[in-house]
Amino acid sequence: MKPYLFQSVWAGVLTVVLLVAASASAAENEAETAYTDEACIECHRMGSEESDRHMDVEAYRASIHGQEETSCQDCHSGVVDDSHQSEEGSGAVDCSACHDQERRHGPEDAPLQCHECHTTHDIRAKTDPASAVHPGRLPVTCGECHPATAGADDYFSWFPSFQIASHAKGDFGIAYEKANCLGCHQGAGAHGETEPINDQTCYKCHYDQDTAGALWGEMHPVADRQTQPVIFAAASLYQVFIVGGLAALVVGFFRSRARRRSRQNDPDGHTG
C-alpha cells in the first residue's frame, strides 16, 4: 500500500472514531442534563424545598394525564434545562397542542386559562364526581368568578326573588337543576361555542335573554337598581321590615325591663 493511501485510510478511521466518541459524549451529557419525571417531581412535589411551585403527585397520578402516563415535558415543553428557573414563562402549557377547544371564556381581551376551570394537575373526566367540571362541582368552580349567579347566598335577594327550582320536564331522566350551570349555558358558557356540549336542554328556554325570566322571576336574582329594579325594591322593603322588626324587639325589651323595675319599686301598685 502506498504511503499516501495508508495515511488517507488512517485519517478516515481516526475521523470516524472521533465522531463516534463525540456523539457518545454528547449523548452522555444530554442524558445527564435531560429532565426526567422523577427529577421534576423531586423538585416540585408537595413539601419540597427545591422550588416554590408544588404539585400533588398522588392527585396527578389519579388524573387523566397521569393515567395516560403523560410526561411532565409533554405539557411543559419549554422546560429543557436549568434556565427555566429564571426564564419567565418557560413552564407555560399550551393545551391546544393536543386539544381542539379554544380559550374563549371570560373577557375578550384576556380569556381564562384552561386550568382556571379544569385545574392544573388534577384534571379528571367530566363524569368523575371529583372533576372540577362535573355537574355537582360546577357551583364551586363557576362560583369562583360568578358567586351570585352560581347560587351563593345573597342576603339582599334570596327572600324577595321568586324562582322555580323545578318545573314541568319533558324528560324526567335529565336533571334540570339551577346548580348545573352548563345545563343552560352549554358551550357558550364553557368555551364560547354555540353547539351544546351535553344533553341538558334548559338553554332552549332560558338562554335567550328576552325569555330568561319567562317562567316566574329571574333565574339569577340580584338586588341591583339598574338591571333588576323590582328585586332591588323588594329587597329594600325587606330590609326595612328587618330593621323595623329588630327595632321593635329592642324597644319592647327595654319597655319590659322598665315595667319590671317599676313593679319592684312599687309592689302594691301605688303611684305618685
Mean pLDDT, residues 127-133: 91
Q: Is the residue at 54 inside a domain?
A: no
Mean pLDDT, residues 250-257: 90
- Partnered with residue 45 across adjacent β-strands are 55
Q: Residue 272 has what pLDDT?
A: 46
Q: Is the residue at 187 inside a domain?
A: yes
- Tell me, rounded to whole angstroms, the distance of Cα 101 from its chain centroid: 16
pLDDT at 261 over 70: yes
Q: Residue 249 has what pLDDT?
A: 93
Q: Is the residue at 126 inside a domain?
A: no
Can you tell me which residue has the cell 335573554?
A: 209
Please enumerate in sequence order all residues whose Cβ is within 8 A of that of 167, keeping only pairs 6 or more positions apart, or say none. Answer: 176, 215
pLDDT at 89 over 90: no
Output the furthest CA–CA distance in the chain (Å, rounded): 147
End-to-end CA distance of the chain: 147
Can you tell me which residue has the cell 465522531?
A: 19
Number of independent structural domains in the chain: 1
Q: Is the residue at 264 inside a domain?
A: yes
pLDDT at 164 over 70: no
Q: Is the residue at 13 inside a domain?
A: no
Quick check: 127 and 195 in contact, CB under 8 A? no
What does the CA dihedral 101, 106, 112, 114 come to, rounded to 10 degrees? Answer: -30
Residue-wise pLDDT for 210-243, tens only, equals 555 545 556 676 777 887 787 788 778 888 888 8
Which residues form the domain of 173? 148-272
Q: Is the residue at 180 inside a domain?
A: yes
- Three-state DSSP state, 171: coil
Q: Is the residue at 137 inside a domain?
A: no
* Per-residue confidence band for 30, with pLDDT thresholds at 50, 70 and 90: very low
Q: Residue 26 has what pLDDT?
A: 46
Exposed/middle/buried for residue 78 (C-beta within 10 Å: 0-12, 13-18, 19+): middle
pLDDT at 160 over 90: no
Q: Is the residue at 224 inside a domain?
A: yes
* Per-residue confidence band for 31, with pLDDT thresholds at 50, 70 and 90: very low
